[in-house]
């Protein structure tokens, strides 16, 4: 082993070894992999914006958000050829006694994996990630792909659990309203008739009240306020906080991401009163109207698990589910982990969580959810 690499701590040694191996094997082709540094942020994001495979979740800002909000170690690799970025792969390690040790592209994000413009770059980034996973001794490596990256490789496991919902929207409000199936359209009109309105916030306070109330009723641990503040701080105008109110009182709130011509409502929820006035239904319609006016032509309703209420809700809007090709390769683990609320072993925990006072759940939740990814 190289003496410099050998003198490093285990994590640094693994990443340096993966990077140097990838570089040395392709030096003649002037294609190499290295880690993103602060000076690389602008050109990283420029590549992501122009790469058809890339998503909002490939943006450089996620490194700062994840490291500052959760304290997890990240490796944001990019492939470079003749001075140009030709592929990116953001990775994060989550090491937890409860949920295992994993290297993921990218936790807290619904999409991820490798985004590249050449097969050579893709192969090099893939090799760097696998070398890093082996060197760190993690249980598994996970890519959150939209399309499969290793469809014929038996070493990679796929689980048909998640789907995404995306649909084109028009610049015309009437056309968008008419595209909503009749029963769901009636719910939107109920919210309009009730007098709901949407407002844009620059702080997370009102949104967090609606969001935390909603996830508590579902029995899900809440993210920290710090995480949401960082998302707004780092992504600025591309991260919108929309609050739905009735007579000045908060009904619902949604945090959405804008990327190219697409809007992604990502975190949202409503207070108990939202059900009476179709608050969540109106919220997504209000967002769709605003996004269309802003020039968006795609509405990404995001990831849902098959067989859940969220899955049914999105289908009711006329969105068709598209399977997500998440892939996992085992390293130190013997089986693919099953850390999701549909796992029967978590049902009792969910019921107990729902009975906690909201203030207690909001205090404890961030310490749990940071290791779920």
pLDDT score recorded for residue 370: 84
Could you tell me the pTM of the whole model? Answer: 0.88
DSSP structure string for 33-68: EEE--GGGHHHHHHHHHH-TT--GGGSTHHHHHHHH
pLDDT score recorded for residue 80: 97
pLDDT score recorded for residue 344: 66
Neighbouring CB atoms inside 10 A of 344's CB total: 7
Query: In 3D, which of 243, 248, 240, 252 has the Cα closest to residue 281?
Result: 252
Round to whole Å and give the CA distance between 250 and 247: 9
Report the phi/psi class of residue 122: left, alpha or beta, with left for phi > 0 and alpha for psi in -120 to 50. alpha
Res. 307: pLDDT tops 60: yes
Say if residues 280 and 270 touch (Cβ distance below 8 Å): yes
Domains and CATH numbers, the chain: 3-151+325-341 (3.40.630.30), 164-322+355-369 (3.40.630.30)
Query: In 3D, which of 302, 69, 340 has the Cα closest to residue 220?
Result: 340
- The mean pLDDT value for 322-351 works out to 79
pLDDT score recorded for residue 345: 60
Angle at 192 between CA 188 and CA 198, to 5 degrees: 100
Dihedral, 255, 258, 262, 263 alpha carbons, nearest 10 = 10
pLDDT score recorded for residue 341: 60
Round to whole Å and give the CA distance between 368 and 318: 34
- Which pLDDT band, with edges at 50, 70 and 90, does 13 fall under? low
Q: What is the pLDDT of residues 95-109, one digit of tens each?
A: 987 778 999 999 999
- Which pLDDT band, with edges at 50, 70 and 90, does 346 fall under? low
Res. 7: pLDDT tops 90: no
pLDDT score recorded for residue 137: 96
> Which residues, at least 6 apart from 76, have a Cβ–Cβ distance to it below 8 Å?
35, 36, 44, 60, 63, 88, 89, 90, 91
Query: In 3D, which of 91, 98, 97, 96 has the Cα closest to residue 19?
Result: 91
pLDDT score recorded for residue 1: 30
Write down the mean pLDDT value for the chain: 89
User: How would you classify the pairing of strands 298-305 and 262-270?
Assistant: parallel
> Which residues, at least 6 apart from 348, have a Cβ–Cβ distance to it below 8 Å?
none
pLDDT score recorded for residue 218: 82
User: How would you classify the pairing of strands 140-144 and 100-105?
Assistant: parallel
Q: What share of the chain is helix, strand, coil (3-state, %, to 5)?
A: 45, 25, 30
By CB atoms closer than 10 A (0-12, 13-18, 19+), residue 83 is exposed
pLDDT score recorded for residue 25: 46
Query: In 3D, which of 151, 48, 134, 42 has the Cα closest to residue 90?
Result: 48
Q: How far is CA 129 from CA 18, 72, 91, 300, in A?
A: 7, 17, 8, 28
Peptide bond into 106 cis (omega under 30): yes
DSSP structure string for 97-111: TTTEEEEEE-TT-S-
pLDDT score recorded for residue 29: 53
pLDDT score recorded for residue 352: 79
- Which pLDDT band, with edges at 50, 70 and 90, does 342 fall under? low
Structure tokens at 89: 């792969």
Res. 277: pLDDT tops 70: yes
By CB atoms closer than 10 A (0-12, 13-18, 19+), residue 209 is middle
Q: Pick the residue with more confidence: 341 or 282?
A: 282
Q: What is the pLDDT of residues 202-252, one digit of tens each?
A: 999 999 999 999 988 888 889 999 999 999 999 999 999 999 999 999 999
- The mean pLDDT value for 15-33 works out to 58
pLDDT score recorded for residue 292: 97
Round to whole Å and give the CA distance between 355 and 165: 31
Say if residues 157 and 330 touch (Cβ distance below 8 Å): yes
Res. 6: pLDDT tops 60: no
> Which residues, at least 6 apart from 282, have a Cβ–Cβ distance to it below 8 Å?
188, 190, 191, 192, 194, 196, 244, 252
pLDDT score recorded for residue 318: 93
- Which pLDDT band, with edges at 50, 70 and 90, does 4 fall under? very low
Say if residues 322 and 165 touch (Cβ distance below 8 Å): yes
Say if residues 100 and 70 touch (Cβ distance below 8 Å): no
Round to whole Å and give the CA distance between 352 and 75: 36
Dihedral, 101, 104, 110, 116 alpha carbons, nearest 10 = -170
- The mean pLDDT value for 119-142 works out to 97
């Amino acid at each position: 082993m190289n003496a410099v690499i050998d003198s490093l701590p285990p994590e640094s040694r693994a990443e340096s070894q993966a990077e140097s191996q990838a570089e040395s094997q392709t030096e003649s082709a002037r294609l190499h992999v290295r880690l993103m540094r602060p000076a690389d942020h602008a050109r990283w994001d420029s590549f992501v914006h122009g790469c058809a495979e890339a998503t909002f979740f490939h943006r450089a800002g996620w490194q700062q958000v994840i490291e500052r909000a959760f304290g997890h170690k990240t490796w944001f690799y990019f492939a470079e050829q003749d001075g140009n970025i030709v592929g990116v792969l953001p990775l994060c390690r989550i090491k937890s006694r409860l949920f295992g040790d994993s290297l993921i592209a990218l936790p807290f994000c619904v999409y991820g994996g490798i985004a590249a413009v050449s097969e050579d770059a893709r192969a090099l980034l893939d090799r760097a990630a696998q070398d890093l996973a082996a060197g760190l001794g993690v249980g598994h490596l996970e890519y959150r792909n939209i399309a499969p990256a290793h469809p014929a490789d038996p070493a990679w496991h796929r689980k048909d659990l998640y789907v995404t919902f995306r649909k084109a929207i028009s610049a015309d409000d009437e056309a968008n309203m008419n595209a909503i199936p009749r029963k769901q359209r009636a719910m939107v009109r109920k919210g309009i008739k009730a007098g709901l309105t949407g407002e844009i916030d620059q702080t997370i306070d009102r949104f967090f009240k609606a969001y935390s109330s909603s996830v508590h009723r579902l029995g899900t641990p809440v993210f920290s306020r710090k995480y949401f503040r960082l998302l707004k701080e780092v992504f600025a105008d591309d991260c919108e906080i929309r609050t739905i109110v009735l007579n000045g009182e908060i009904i619902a709130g949604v945090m959405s991401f804008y990327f190219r011509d697409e809007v992604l409502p990502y975190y949202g929820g409503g207070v108990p009163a939202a059900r009476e006035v179709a608050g969540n239904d109106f919220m997504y319609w209000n967002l769709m109207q605003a996004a269309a006016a802003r020039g968006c032509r795609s509405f990404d309703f995001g990831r849902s698990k098959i067989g859940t209420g969220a899955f049914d809700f999105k289908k009711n809007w006329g969105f068709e589910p598209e399977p997500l090709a998440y892939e996992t390769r085992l390293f130190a683990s013997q089986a693919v982990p099953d850390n999701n609320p549909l796992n029967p072993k978590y049902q009792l925990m969910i019921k107990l969580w729902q009975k906690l006072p909201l203030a207690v759940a909001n205090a404890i939740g961030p310490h749990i959810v940071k290791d779920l990814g």
